[in-house]
Amino acid sequence: MTCAALSLPRGFLRWSPVVTSFAKMLPVLPLLLSGSVADAAPTSIELFVDHATTPQYGPEITVPPTTTNLSFYVRPGAPFVRYKLEGIDPDWVLRTADMLFIIRFLNERGDQVSQVSYPMHGRSPGWKTSVEDSTFTPRKETFKVPPDAVYLAVTISSAGPPSLVGAYAATAIDINAVGGEGVAPRVLMKDSRAADPQPHFWIKSGTHPSMASALHLEEGDPKSPVLVIMDNDLSRHADWATDIHALPKLVPGETLEATWKEAYSLGSGGSFGTGYDRLPAGHYRFLVEDLTITGDPVNTITALSVYVPLPYWKSVWFWGLCAAGIAIVASLAGRQLIRRRIRRHLQQAQLISDERLRIARDLHDDLGTRLSHISLLGAYAESKSSDDEARQTFHQITGMSRELIGALSETVWMLNPKNNDLEALVDFLCRLVSELCRLAEIRCRIDAMSTFENRQIGHDFRHNVSLAVKEAINNVLKHSHATEIKMTIRLDENVLKITIADNGVGITRDPGGKSGLGLESISQRMAAIRGKCIMQPQGTEGLEISLEAPLS
């Protein structure tokens, strides 16, 4: 055991520990020497949250999830208790205090020169339940006699901290002056007695001297007493001390060796507080168990349950809301980004469409004017020419010029986004078929829906349908030898249906098995807009071409 050397002012007598009793303001907790707890108020526990000045009571307390400190203040109903916080403290926590084995040096006048103190706390290795059944542990200390020291006195004192409680027993105390090599030691104390037997060698003192007692165990020399201090008083203390003149005089500078055997169980009693910082979320129980004066449990436990909720930022629902919020924000941001890209794409598409329309109009205005001029010149040359072959050539030039002017007009119509509706498409198809039949000088009958719900259509739809109809009419005019064409336009459950029928020769095939009518391109155009082209003969003569395509 580690010892500590202390120096106190001169004049510190063997009963001087009384000065510490004024600091002991806690109530007395009487105990029987057997170690049983006397009748007293039960142990109470107060809880202070985050250094609050007002305690909280109750068998179970819920603290805020942001709590950073929990302080438990215990008012024991027993002189000695131990505690633990389940889930945090792995074992019981015992509060300890020191009892002192003191070697005091005095001068010729009896004034104290210095002292050496050897503290004891906790439990000795051989302690069981009482002094009688415990195994004493040997101890040995060496020290030098200071200058001006003449007398030596030994004091065993419980005048340590005011909260000290417990039992201490010492026996077989020997003090010898160790000489040089070959010199026999000089005996100052043997078996807790002076070298010269004296009737009142050990004297009880202190503010509660009756807590000091002497025992004679069966083992060992019955004349070697066991000096016991059973401190069960939180306001006073007891001492065992030798008379200052009982031991032989000292020689300054000589080395002294002290040996003794001891057994003890010491602790700290009275009210106390303990704190825990930043406890994780969960359920806890703060337990306080009452002990006897010698530190043995009496099967009385006081419990206080504490619940620390999980902070909201660590809960599942909080992170769920965060994830949902992030998902919503990401979705909104993604939708906004998509809308921005779509808007940019539409703007670019509109710019491209406008540019196409501008180019088409410029070509129509420029080339149309030139072609009209060529057509007029051809017609004029045809009327003035007397050569039949030349007149026929000028007639072809005039016809081709007019066809080019019509093609330019169709191109401008197809590129104009204002025509992206069903009504404009039907009107264009009617005019287109009528003009082609007029130029071919054959009859034309058109049956188009007179009233319908106008619908918006795409540029690709309008472009492919108009070219498919034009290709079908041109095939009829070139190959069928028909004298009449009938076109029907219907809207049936969001599907545009166009039927072109003639009274010509029908389908003829070439030697390779193909139709020879050039209708493959029509099927490809209809397939591009998820439509279809159906060709079937009409009885013995003529052909019917059905074009179908969904509007959306």
Q: How far is CA 347 from CA 341, 379, 386, 416, in A?
A: 10, 46, 58, 16
Q: Which CATH number fits domain 421-552: 3.40.50.2020, 3.30.565.10, 3.30.465.10, 3.40.50.300?
A: 3.30.565.10
**pLDDT for the residue numbered 72:** 94
Read off the pLDDT band of 518 (50, 70, 90): low
The CA-based angle 439-440-446, given to 5 degrees, is: 85
According to CATH, the topology of domain 30-95+276-309 is Immunoglobulin-like (2.60.40)
Lowest pLDDT segment from 14-23, 243-252, 277-286, 445-454: 14-23
Which pair of structure tokens corresponds to residue 473? 């009419």
User: Helices (H) and strands (E) in the chain — how many of each?
Assistant: 5, 26
| pLDDT > 80? residue 136 | yes
d(CA 192, CA 174): 6
Nearest to 233 by CA among 38, 74, 101: 38
Contact 116, 109 (CB under 8 A): no
Return phi, psi of residue 119, to 5°.
Answer: -80, 155
Residue type, 34: S
Express each pLDDT in 373-399 by its tens digit: 787 877 777 777 777 788 788 778 887
Lowest pLDDT segment from 38-47, 372-381, 488-497, 509-518: 509-518
The residue that leads in pLDDT, 347 or 401, is: 347
Which pair of structure tokens corresponds to residue 39? 């009748």
Read off the pLDDT band of 28 (50, 70, 90): very low
Decide: pTM greater than 0.85: no
The answer for 295, left when phi > 0, alpha when psi is -120 to 50, beta otherwise, is left
Mean pLDDT of 298-317: 90
Three-state secondary structure call for residue 240: strand
d(CA 14, CA 461): 118
d(CA 179, CA 191): 20
d(CA 111, CA 192): 23
Lowest pLDDT segment from 42-56, 217-231, 243-257: 217-231
Q: Which residue has the tokens 């906004």?
A: 336
Express each pLDDT in 64-78 by its tens digit: 998 999 999 999 988
Nearest to 519 by CA among 447, 481, 470: 470
Which pair of structure tokens corresponds to residue 80? 């000695």
Three-state secondary structure call for residue 405: helix
Mean pLDDT of 111-125: 93
- Residues across the chain: 552
d(CA 54, CA 61): 14
Which pair of structure tokens corresponds to residue 115? 């002292």
Mean pLDDT of 344-352: 87
CA 62 to chain centre: 22
Q: Which residues contact 45 (CB under 8 A, 6 or more apart)?
A: 72, 73, 74, 75, 286, 288, 302, 304
| pLDDT > 60? residue 144 | yes
Nearest to 377 by CA among 388, 369, 366: 369
| pLDDT > 70? residue 177 | yes
**pLDDT for the residue numbered 13:** 30
Give the number of other Cβ atoms within 10 Å of residue 145's Cβ. 19
Contact 465, 529 (CB under 8 A): yes
DSSP 184-199: PPEEEEETTEESS--T
| pLDDT > 50? residue 6 | no
Give the number of other Cβ atoms within 10 Å of residue 417's Cβ. 13
Q: How far is CA 356 from CA 411, 518, 528, in A?
A: 10, 29, 22
* Three-class DSSP labels, 277-288: ECCCCEEEEEEE
**pLDDT for the residue numbered 403:** 77
Read off the pLDDT band of 342 (50, 70, 90): very high
| pLDDT > 70? residue 515 | no
d(CA 437, CA 470): 11
How would you class 58 by CB atoms within 10 Å of its CB: exposed for 0-12, middle for 13-18, buried for 19 or more? exposed
Mean pLDDT of 399-425: 79
Three-state secondary structure call for residue 270: coil
| pLDDT > 80? residue 197 | no
